[in-house]
Structures are given as C-alpha cells and as structure tokens.
Amino acid sequence: MPVRPYDQRKMFLLPPCLDEWVRADHPARVVSDIVDHLDVSEFRTVHHEGRPCFAPRMMLKVLLWGYANGVRASRKLAERLGADVVFMWLAGMEQPDFRTICLFRRNNPAALKRLFAQVLGIARDMGLCQLGLVALDGTKVRASAGINSFKRPAEWQKELTRLEEEIQRMLDEAEAQDRADDAAYGEDRRGDELPKELEQKQARVKKIKEILAEAERRGDKKALMSSTDIDAGYMHGPAGSLPAYNAQVAVNEHQMIVYAEVTTEPVDVNQVGPALAGIEETTGRKPEQFLADAGYRSGPNLRLLEDERVDGYIPETGEKHIGRTARRDSEQYGREAFRYDREHDCYRCPAGQTMTRTSERRSKTKYSEQTKRIYRPPRGVCLACPRKAQCTVSNNLLGRSISRDDYEEERTRMRQKLGTEEGKTVYGRRKCLVEPAIGQLKVIGGFRQFLLRERQGAGIEWKWMTTALNLLKMSWKVLSGEAKLAWAT
C-alpha cells in the first residue's frame, strides 16, 4: 500500500500565510471580528522599560478565547501561544509571558465591566439581547483557598499569640548573639539583619492581624476565615461544604448572560435588587419578566419587583409544589380559608370567629430578618368549635393561629399568579434558560474553581468567563446563519 511522504523538517518554497492556518468557518474568526469592533482604549497592558507594550486587542482575544475553551491559567495560555495554531493566529504570533497575561487580566476591572456591556450591545444589534424575560440563578464556585487554611477568629488569636512569642524569643536570641559577637569580634556588624525564618513569621503575624481585623469588622467571631483568601467562606453545595463564592448569573431568552456578579453570601435572598440594578446599568433597560427560584423568595423582593413594575415569578416552594398548600393534614383548613380584614386588622375564621392580633414573632438570620404578627381567636373558643377537627389538632386554650407580615399581600398575589396555568408555564421556562447557561460555564468552560483570590479577583474572573461565553454563543449563531453581525455584508 502506498504511503504518503512524511517529513517533520519539511521546508516551504514561500513563507506561509498566518491567516491560512485557521479555517474560514472557525468560531475564533467571529470572536476576533467582534473584538476588532470593540472600544478597547481603556485597557492597559504592562509596560516594560525600553520596549513597547503588547496590543490590548491582542491580549483580549487570547484571554477571551482561552476562557471560552476552558484554558484559564496564565501559564497554560502562554504555552498555547507557542503550540496552538488558533491561539497563535489570534495573537499574530506575539508571545506575552504568563506574568503579562496575569497582570492584564487582573488590572483592568473597570474596562472589563464596560467590555461586558459592549458585547451585549453588539448582541442586541444581532437580535440576541431582548429583555422580555430574564432568569436569575446562583451557583457555588470553589474559591482558591485550601480547607486547612480556615480557622475561627479565636484560633487565629491563639496562633497570633504563639507567633508573637516566638518572634520575641528569636529577637532576644539575636540580640544576645549580637552582644556575644561584639565582645568577641568588635562592634563592626550592622546588627539589623533578619533571619529568613523571622521574616516569614512576621509576615504571618501581619496576615493574621488582617484576618482578625476583618472578623471584627464583620462582627462574627465564629465564622471560619482563610489565610489565603480572606473573603472566601464555607458554602453548601452538591459536593458538600467547601470554600466557595456564590456566582450569580442572569440570562435572557437567547441564553445571553446579561448580569454576572460574585457575592460572599451563601444564600440568594439578597441578590434580586443587585441583579435588577446591574441589568439596567449594563443594558439601559429593565426586564419585563423576571424569573428566580425559591431561594430568592422574600417579601422585600416581591415588593421591589412590583415597585419597579417588573412582572416577577418567585415561588415559595420548589416547582413541583407550586399551587399546593403546605400543611400536615390536607383535610384541614389552609390559611386561604381565613379572610383578612384590613380595616380592623383581624382575620375571620371559617366558623365566623374573629381572630385578633395577640403577639409578634421576630426572626433574624445573618442575611435577613422578619417580623410576623400572630392572630388568634379568644381563648378556649377553638376547643368548643364544631369545626375544630377540620381546623386544628391543638387541644390547648390558645387554639389555631395565623401569622402575617408587612408583605403578605405581595405574597398572596404571587401565589395566585403562580397558581394559574399561565404562571406555571412562564415560571417553567426558568430551568430551561439559566440552568443550561450555568452548565455551559462549568462544563464547556471548565469553570469549577476560581484562580484569582478575594472577592474582587473572583468577580473579575467571573466577568471574563461570562463575557467569553457570550462571545462564543454569538459566534455559533453567526456560523449557523441564525444571526448576522451588523457590519457584515
């Protein structure tokens, strides 16, 4: 059987053309074309004495294409620039070192934020960034901090005391040695040299003091805090409790990411307001419909959506339980059977008894607080009521109670809306929009752990990743013929 010639030292008669190395329908060409039409004047690259800096547009193409394909580490990106044809083409054969790539990625947060908005502006011109419907969700992404780096403030205080004692001992020993050397050899030594071990311990003391100061600022003496990433905290996820950040993402009907931020709060309840504000800041508009799961439920969030005139869909339970009343005995009266009288601030039970406010119950967590008013009938009435079996199993004099807070009307309207077939259909789209986008970020982009530390670094990296995914989706749409770039002929 004939064999084709094989020669690794093959020479070209004419120099090869760099642009021929990447096929015409490669997604990298679309990404490169879009970046060529972005304003990158705010980006700054590292300038070394005596030579020009690298072009910001080239650096953007390398980083965004790397994030879109799961190559995020600066050393890996630098390696690809000398081994991967697509990266070599995007960089125009330039080869910035890993340090230059790392500093460019971290040192342009404001410009990156505006770049995110610019990409969405191009997506809008392509018909991919309508805000008729937006779905919000959060996902836990592991922080760049080891489990063993976490201790409670009391434990850090003990280590600080121990280190300070060791430093004092080493200083005393050094001073004693200096006196002995002066006596033996004369006073000709500088005497200010610090042993390397002492320098390391002093740096450790400084770090621990920063941790304790942050714990004091937070007012939480029991929280686990890391020495490598002071903002990271333990969060519960599918793989158990791990050091992580809560990465928020909102997408529209085309699964374009219109909002991406990182929070240190493990719960989602306080993220609706920032998401609405962020979407409006980035796109200049508010969404018409807003979907979020039960993790975002709270009275203030429901009122905010109504005040902003946004058609919100946030259930109190999981999707399969929407429209069902949660109670132990399905044969007993639910709270919907009790009618509230706003004028007299009381309830009427199914038997016609008046239930007046008897007390208040306050509950407060680290991230939210709530005050509920408790309504009960006159003492002993429930025990003699012929409908008692249908209402309560309690045999004490207090009888049945109903609780209410300042947001009960908003909750009632949300229950009624989600209880309709139309409401269920609209909310059912949430899992088909935002959850696939999170899957793409973690599976296609390989984004399961942050490389940059502290909240600012994590936020920067999350913005790089979501911008890259938006560009990749836009390239797919262009190559499939579903959309067209505004400047394309």
pLDDT digit string, tens, across residues 116-141? 999 999 999 999 998 899 999 999 99
- Distance of alpha carbon 200 from alpha carbon 426, whole angstroms: 58
* Residue 124 pLDDT: 94
Measured distance CA(55)–CA(45) in Å, rounded? 7
Task: State whether 174 and 76 are in the same domain.
Answer: no
Provide the domain count of the chain.
3
Q: Give residue 230's pLDDT.
A: 86
Planar angle of CA 391, 392, 396, nearest 5 degrees: 140
Alpha helix (H) residue ranges in 108-255 = 109-125, 153-185, 196-218
Per-run averaged pLDDT (10 residues), the chain, 489 residues? 85 84 94 96 74 90 96 96 96 94 94 96 93 94 87 78 72 65 54 59 77 79 82 84 94 96 94 96 94 94 96 86 63 88 93 93 88 93 91 89 92 92 93 94 92 94 97 95 86
Residue 388 included in any domain: yes
Sequence-separated (6 or more) residues with CB below 8 Å from residue 448: 141, 142, 442
User: Based on the domain organization, do 166 and 212 belong to the same domain?
Assistant: yes
Total Cβ atoms within 10 A of residue 207: 15
Q: Which residues pair with 362 in a beta bridge?
A: 371
* Tokens 């077939």, residue located: 421
Q: Token digits for 110?
A: 């404001």
For residues 30 and 93, state if they share a domain.
yes
Residue 85 included in any domain: yes
Please name the residues in contact with 87: beta carbons below 8 A apart, sequence gap of 6 or more: 62, 65, 66, 77, 80, 81
Which of 388, 405, 422 is the C-terminal boundary of a domain?
A: 405
Instruction: Record the tokens describing residue 64, joined without a space.
Output: 């965004």
Would you say residue 143 lies in a domain?
no
pLDDT for the residue 182: 60
Same domain, 31 and 115: yes
Q: Give the pLDDT confidence score for residue 311 in this predicted structure.
A: 96
- Of 405, 432, 456, the residue that ends a domain is 405
Residues 132 and 288 sit within 8 Å (Cβ to Cβ)? yes
Residue 55 within any structural domain of the chain: yes
Closest by CA position to 442, among listed 237, 140, 147? 140
Q: For residues 474 and 44, give the distance between their C-alpha atoms in angstroms, rounded to a whole number.
A: 26
Domain limits for position 97: 18-130+473-480
- Does the residue 451 lie in any domain? no
Same domain assignment for residues 200 and 123 = no
CA-to-CA distance for 52 and 75, rounded, in angstroms? 22
Contact criterion met (CB below 8 Å) for 450 and 226: no
Predicted TM-score of the model (pTM)? 0.85
The helix/strand/coil state of 348 is strand
Q: 397 and 342 in one domain?
A: yes
Specify whether 96 is located in the same domain as 157. Answer: no
**Pairwise CA distance, residues 407 & 370, whole Å:** 10
